[in-house]
Amino acid sequence: MTTPEENWRLLRELTAAFGPSGREDEARRLIAAAAAPYADETREDVLGDLIVTRRARGAADGRRIMVCAHMDEIGVMVTHIDENGFIRFSPVGGFQAARLEGQRLRFQSGLTAVLVRQHPGAGQDSAAPPRFYLDAGLSPAALSEAGVGVGDMAVSAVEMTETAGTVSGKALDNRVGCFILLETLRRVQSRHDLYFVFSAQEEVGARGAKTAAFALAPDLAYIVDATIADDIPRNPVVRLRLGGGPAVKVMDRSVIIAPARREAVAALARSAGIPFQWEIIDQGGTDAGPVQLSRGGVPVAGLAVPTRYIHTPAETAAKADILLARDLLVRCLEADMD
Amino acid sequence: MPIENERLLETLSSLDGVAGQEKTVGEAIAARLREIGLQPETDRMGNITARREPAAGGSPFHALLCAHMDEVGLLITEITADGYLKFSPAGGIDNAVLPAKWVRIGGELPGVVGIKAIHLQKMDERKKLPETDAFYIDIGAASREEAEKQVKLGDMACLVGGWHELGADLVMGKALDDRAGCALLLELLAAEQPCRLTGVFTAQEEIGLRGAQVLANRIQADLVVVLEATAAADVLETEAEETVTCLGRGPVCSLMDAGTIYPPELIKLITDCARTAEIPLQYRRGAAGANDAGALQTAGAGQRVITLSLPCRYIHTMRSVASRTDYANWKKLVINLLERLSSPEESARFSRETSGKDAGKQ
């Protein structure tokens, strides 16, 4: 199956959108606009989740499925600006400053700043954990003029790059999931009522998915995310690789998928000739955790796109895996429910 | 600037109420609530709730204000053959605070946290802080049998600290975190308010927001305001970028902590309230720690939360220090915020009706 060039442009726009946890407005607006032609209803909740309803087509069976991909990305929040305009920050989600030294970050206002490792200071303990700051080259007054103050957030400033087979950039975790949901939304013909949730605040503890799941009280939920591909040099045990097909979730730190649920997804993949890999990760939770535990419990399944270098500005995924994840998701949503 | 009801704060701060054993504090709060003509309700976790309707013509906007009753302390886990008590901390306590401190068990039995006299310490022992299990409480019992007559496993020991004035503007109390919030909430409930107010004095915050979790399943409001005492780090050898808050610079509006990212539109509203009313305001610079807001924000279909705090030095010790002026400004800010939210315009903007509708049940 081929996908027109402009669809990768949509993924590029999605990854470019500013949207650290709790400040998802820009990403949400972009997604809402892309979803609008196919949505029966669109709304936003208190946590900032975007909920797009697509009602059953054909003979409706009255079942309700939640499809969830988080739209927030990791970043930093400004906590202090000193008299010289150097900016101190706290991480938002799993932002690791040590891996981003020398990289540029971008504020919502468009201003960029470089991430710098602080000099330890004369006679200081060099074994102490390194500290970092942001330098935009501006005075406190000029920063304020440029729309940057305490409480504002910044994210990586890199743009997505593309090869014939891969995409790479910031926030593929999880705009790639948002992309799959949007691409699914325009194709799917389902007898179930579908609720596409673009969740907020996943990176800080899956907070948006929790409230969305409560509000929707679905019969079934699919969580779509980016997950860790570890097919890198000198890794003795590779669990997930680029190009091996979408990952079907078995477990992560927040959830264990019921065997029958993951098998149902696997069976659909097999019958459609879609290759897949099992996702078993022992670090990091996902939206699947709180959704499963919502109200009296919700059956959940998970699909993920294997992605190298997660939580860096060089997150890299295979185009084929993304398209196959979309195809598999469409089949999941169109299948009859037991 | 005086605290209007400083005696109340002193009384509450001096009561013992380690997480899970807030009964004494709860009774004092309930008694005060009845005095001001409200009916306190206690739930199964020990949270105490009181409601106050606005005067005729008031706004239907519903604000939930909460302050936690519990404080950090020590839970007795073992009685040794010698009659000493071993313990496990309930909530975050720095081991450096413990040695040679006076404690009270079950609200009355005195004890002291034992420490080897400096004469008996080896050189390397003098240089580093002992682990928690090296500490014990001495109640003067000669044997396990004697100790067991006075103490049961699971009893709570509370650090003892009185009430003192410090300089012209500061006060020092045992449990300002968060009896200061409790005192402010009682003051607010005692006065006419422009909108519907539910005040909740929560239990077990210090050990993981447990009281608030249950509260969140029961009550939802248009806005939750958490009244906290938060760390002031305007202390020696702390650089400017590390001072989370400073005493004397006014109440504190949180931006983000380990449990919550606060909504920017509310931070803006509070900033605007402070500016208009000429109340000093500081942002909490630092993202560590969590409070009841974390549990309340994600309850049900979600609700808006904000935390407004009193800056407090030496928090989680029995010598917490705060400024009377900050307290007075804190109160002014909350009153101001409630008035703003009661205006038809802001009330419409922030009420539950305008957001967070159940998307599934159209």
* Chain A touched by B1 (CB under 8 Å): no
Catalytic choice (B71, B205, B228, B346)? B205
Amino acid at B357: K
- When the pLDDT of each residue in chain B is averaged and rounded to a whole number, the result is 91
Closest CA to B205 of B131, B285, B316: B316
Q: Which chain A residue has its CA at the smallest distance from B301's CA?
A: A211
Does residue B243 register a pLDDT over 90? no
- pLDDT beyond 70 at B237: no
Nearest CA in chain B to A64: B360
Contact residues, A window 34-63, toward B, CB-based 8 Å cutoff: 41, 43-47, 51, 53
Q: How confident is the model at residue A176 (pLDDT cuts 50, 70, 90)?
A: very high
Residue A92: list chain B partners with CB under 8 A.
256, 261
More confident residue, B127 or B51: B51
Name the B residues in 244-303 with CB < 8 Å from any A CB. 255-256, 261-264, 267, 283, 285-287, 297-298, 300-303
B147 pLDDT above the threshold of 80: yes
* CB nearest to A45's CB, from B285, B301, B362: B301
A 68-107 residues inside an 8 A Cβ radius of B: 77, 79-80, 82, 88, 90-92
* Cβ atoms within 10 Å, residue B31: 10
pLDDT above 50 for A77: yes
Which of B261, B284, B297 best probes binding to A when mutated, by most A CB atoms within 10 angstroms? Answer: B261
Q: What is the mean pLDDT of chain A?
A: 94
What pLDDT, on a 0 to 100 scale, did the predictor assign at position A129?
79
* Residue A288: closest CA among A333, A252, A331: A252
**Architecture of the domain spanning B73-159:** Beta Barrel (2.40)
Contact A92 B261 (CB under 8 A): yes
What is the average per-residue pLDDT within A270-293? 95
What local confidence, expressed as pLDDT, does residue B101 receive?
A: 92
Instruction: Give the integer Cα–Cα distance in Å for A258 and A276.
Output: 18
At B177-221, the pLDDT tens digits run: 999 999 999 999 999 999 999 999 999 998 888 989 888 888 889
Q: With CB atoms and an 8 Å threshold, state whether A45 touches B302.
A: yes
Is residue B355 pLDDT above 80, yes or no?
no
Q: Taking CB atoms and an 8 Å limit, are B241 and A80 in contact across chains? A: yes
**Residue B304: closest CA among B63, B97, B141, B5:** B63
A304 vs B130: which has the higher pLDDT: A304
Q: What percent of chain A has pLDDT over 90?
A: 89
Within A9-103, strands assigned E span 41-44, 50-54, 64-70, 75-81, 87-92
| In chain B, where the domains are located | 6-71+174-354, 73-159
The C-alpha angle A88, A93, A98, rounded to 5 degrees, equals 55
Taking the CA of residue B254 and the nearest CA in chain A, the distance in Å comes to 9
Per-residue pLDDT for A82 more than 80? yes
Minimum-distance CB partner of A210 among B241, B298, B352: B298
pLDDT-derived band at B362, boundaries 50, 70, 90:
very low
Query: Where does the pLDDT of residue B231 fall: very low under 50, low under 70, confident under 90, or very high at 90 and above?
Result: confident
Interface contact flag, B360 A195, Cβ < 8 Å: yes
A28, A53, A79: best to mutate for the B interface, most B CBs within 10 A: A79
From B160, B177, B42, select the one nearest B100 (Cα to Cα).
B160
Quick count: other Cβ atoms within 10 Å of Cβ A115? 23
Q: What percent of chain B has pLDDT over 90?
A: 73
Q: Which of the residue ranges A73-82, A306-315, B2-11, B156-165 would you say has the lowest mean pLDDT?
A: B2-11
Confidence of residue A223 (pLDDT cuts 50, 70, 90): very high
Q: Which chain B residue's Cα is nearest to A66? A: B360
Residues of B in contact with A212 (CB under 8 A): 301, 359
Binary contact (A46, B359; C-beta < 8 A): no
Closest CA to B70 of B204, B185, B212: B204
Q: Which of residues 142-201 of B touch A (CB under 8 A)?
A: none
By CA distance, what is B351's nearest residue in A? A46
Active site residue A83: no
Q: In one letter, which amino acid is A43?
A: R
Check: CB of residue B288 under 8 Å from CB of residue B305: no
CB proximity B351 to A under 8 Å: no
Q: Please say if the pLDDT value at position B357 is more than 50.
A: no
Considering only alpha carbons, which residue of chain A is nearest residue B352?
A46
Task: Give DSSP secondary structure letters for B251-304.
Answer: -EE--B-SS-B--HHHHHHHHHHHHHTT---EE--------HHHHHHTSTT--E
Catalytic residue chosen out of the listed positions A24, A73, A183, A202: A202
* Residue A217 near chain B (CB below 8 Å): yes
Domain architecture of chain A: domains with CATH: 5-73+170-334 (3.40.630.10), 75-156 (2.40.30.40)
Q: Which residues pair with B88 in a beta bridge?
A: B75
Residue A293: its chain B contacts at CB < 8 A?
A: none
Query: How many angstroms away from the CA of A168 is the closest CA of chain B?
Result: 28
Confidence of residue A133 (pLDDT cuts 50, 70, 90): very high
Confidence of residue A130 (pLDDT cuts 50, 70, 90): confident
Chain A contacts of B304, Cβ < 8 Å?
46
Closest approach of chain B CAs to the CA of A300, in angstroms? 17
Average of pLDDT values for A209-230? Answer: 97
Query: Looking at the partner chain, which of A44, A211, A218 has a beta carbon nearest the beta carbon of B298?
Result: A211
CATH architecture of the region B6-71+174-354: 3-Layer(aba) Sandwich (3.40)
**Residue A22: both structure tokens together:** 């709790």
| CA–CA gap between residue B145 and residue B154 (Å, rounded) | 17
Nearest beta carbon to residue A77 from set B256, B304, B357: B256
- For residue B303, the chain A residues in CB contact (below 8 A) are 46
